[in-house]
């Protein structure tokens, strides 16, 4: 078992990684909690025991259910059950579940503790850690949300045995991102160590910039490397892509765009493509993609404070780059078709 400590403002909490880690849940529940609302989905075959009175609350599966109506319905159910501010919400699932349950926890009674039990590789290396919660609007991904740090995060690697191949690929897309943020060769580690290393990298970024200061071009926003195009592909909704698969496409696009802007050279682009290949990830723009439509969605990205904005590699590493020429961004998209 590996324990990574996350420090975010005044909050400090553990990320517990390893086989059978969910057995630690009862120990990690807040002492004040008399009840635990276990938020999960019908298709998640992971049972947990919080060690206190608990009830399961099911949310729908798929991005269509990651919206404000789900938050309203869930919070109403919590209120009818009588969950108090001293109790706890336990999110059991992947990134969608931790995003939804985390946002509900941040807003119900103006904040109740939440413990995340991540059951997907994507959730373990990214979504469950760092306190970002939120839901989608028709206009874009994660446009409504809150910062709400969890009380603890559990990454039980036994749960990965139940995942279909494409869900594992989705997690690998997020893992690949960390190679470009740090240069670390995560592929040299075993799976448990790799998950812990990703958690450690993210924890360091969050500790330095918990609430994503817009003025900090090398702060928490760098964790969105590859995500501007990825979120656009997901928002358009007609491409059959998991989140991490879309991130892989976004990482290649970010590298090609950075080269076109003179920020990196051919060798650095080749490095991006080699890492994605090592993770067995496809990084082509989906057939039938409409660059104009994707560009319009990217203009609404939540990082876009000053014109079309991307997180891009460069001489001093990955950073936020505002006011990118739309014609260049569109040309690079077109070149990937």
pLDDT digits (tens, 9 = 90+) for 164-216: 999 999 999 999 999 999 888 899 999 999 999 999 999 999 999 998 888 89
91-124 as b/e: b if 16+ CB within 10 A:
bbbbbbbbbbbbbbbbbbeeebbbbbbbbbbbbb
Of the candidates 24, 167, 174, 319, the residue annotated as catalytic is: 174
pLDDT at residue 99 in the model:
97
216 is catalytic: no
- Residue 307 — pLDDT band, cuts 50, 70, 90? confident
pLDDT at residue 83 in the model:
98
- Residue 306 — pLDDT band, cuts 50, 70, 90? confident
132 is catalytic: yes
- Residue 11 — pLDDT band, cuts 50, 70, 90? confident
pLDDT at residue 239 in the model:
87
Of the candidates 10, 110, 139, 327, the residue annotated as catalytic is: 110
pLDDT at residue 10 in the model:
78
243 is catalytic: yes
User: Can you say how many angstroms the Cα of residue 90 is from the centroid of all Cα atoms in its chain?
Assistant: 18
pLDDT at residue 270 in the model:
97
Domain with CATH 3.40.50.1970 in the chain: 2-162
What does pLDDT average to over the chain?
Answer: 95
65 is catalytic: no
pTM, rounded to two decimals: 0.91
Give percent of the chain above pLDDT 70.
Answer: 99
* CATH 3.40.50.1970, domain 2-162, yes or no: yes
Whether the pLDDT of residue 56 is over 90: the answer is: yes
220 is catalytic: yes
224 is catalytic: yes
Of the candidates 35, 151, 200, 227, the residue annotated as catalytic is: 227
202 is catalytic: yes
212 is catalytic: yes
- Residue 237 — pLDDT band, cuts 50, 70, 90? confident
Sign of CA pseudo-dihedral 56, 57, 63, 64: positive
Q: Where are the alpha helices (DSSP H) in the chain?
A: 25-28, 68-81, 95-107, 121-122, 165-182, 191-208, 227-236, 243-260, 266-278, 291-299, 326-335
Query: For 97-113, what is each residue's pLDDT tens digit?
Result: 999 999 999 999 999 99
Of the candidates 54, 132, 172, 303, the residue annotated as catalytic is: 132
Q: What are phi and psi of 49, to 5 degrees?
A: -125, 105
Domain with CATH 1.20.1090.10 in the chain: 215-335
10 is catalytic: no
Average pLDDT over residues 228-237: 92
Cα gap 170→141, rounded to integer Å: 17
Whether the pLDDT of residue 220 is over 80: the answer is: yes
**Burial (Cβ within 10 Å: 0-12, 13-18, ≥19) of residue 86:** middle
Q: What is the CA radius of gyration of the chain?
A: 19
Average pLDDT over residues 242-271: 97
Whether the pLDDT of residue 126 is over 90: the answer is: yes
Whether the pLDDT of residue 162 is over 90: the answer is: no
pLDDT at residue 139 in the model:
86
- Residue 60 — pLDDT band, cuts 50, 70, 90? very high
CATH class, range 215-335? mainly alpha
């Amino acid at each position: 078992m590996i324990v990574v400590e996350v420090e975010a403002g005044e909050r400090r909490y553990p990320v517990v990684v390893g086989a059978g880690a969910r057995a630690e849940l009862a120990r990690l529940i807040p002492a004040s909690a008399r009840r635990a609302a276990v938020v999960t989905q019908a298709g998640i075959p992971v049972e947990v025991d919080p060690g206190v009175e608990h009830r399961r609350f099911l949310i729908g599966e798929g991005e269509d259910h990651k919206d404000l109506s789900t938050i309203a319905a869930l919070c109403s159910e919590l209120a009818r059950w009588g969950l108090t501010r001293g109790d706890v919400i336990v999110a059991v699932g992947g990134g969608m579940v931790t995003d939804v349950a985390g946002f509900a926890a941040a807003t119900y009674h103006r904040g109740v503790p939440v413990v995340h039990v991540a059951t997907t590789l994507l959730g373990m290396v990214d979504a469950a850690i760092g306190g970002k919660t939120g839901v989608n609007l028709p206009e874009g991904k994660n446009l409504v949300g809150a910062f709400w740090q969890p009380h603890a995060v559990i990454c039980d690697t036994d749960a990965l045995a139940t995942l279909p191949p494409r869900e594992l690929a989705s997690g690998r897309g997020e893992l690949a991102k960390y190679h470009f943020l740090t240069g670390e060769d995560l592929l040299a580690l075993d799976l448990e160590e790799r998950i812990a290393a990703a958690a450690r990298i993210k924890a360091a970024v969050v500790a330095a910039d918990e609430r994503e200061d817009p003025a900090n071009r090398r702060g928490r926003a760098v964790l969105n490397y590859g995500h501007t195009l990825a979120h656009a592909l997901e928002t358009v909704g007609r491409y059959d892509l998991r989140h991490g698969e879309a991130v892989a496409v976004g990482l290649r696009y970010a590298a090609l765009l950075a080269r076109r802007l003179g920020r990196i050279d051919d060798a650095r682009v080749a490095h991006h493509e080699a890492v994605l290949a090592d993770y067995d990830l496809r990084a082509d723009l989906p057939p039938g993609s409409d660059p104009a439509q994707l560009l319009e969605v990217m203009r609404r990205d939540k990082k876009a404070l000053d014109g079309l904005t991307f997180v891009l590699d460069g001489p001093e590493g990955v950073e936020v780059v505002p006011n990118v020429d739309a014609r260049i961004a569109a040309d690079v998209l077109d070149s990937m078709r």
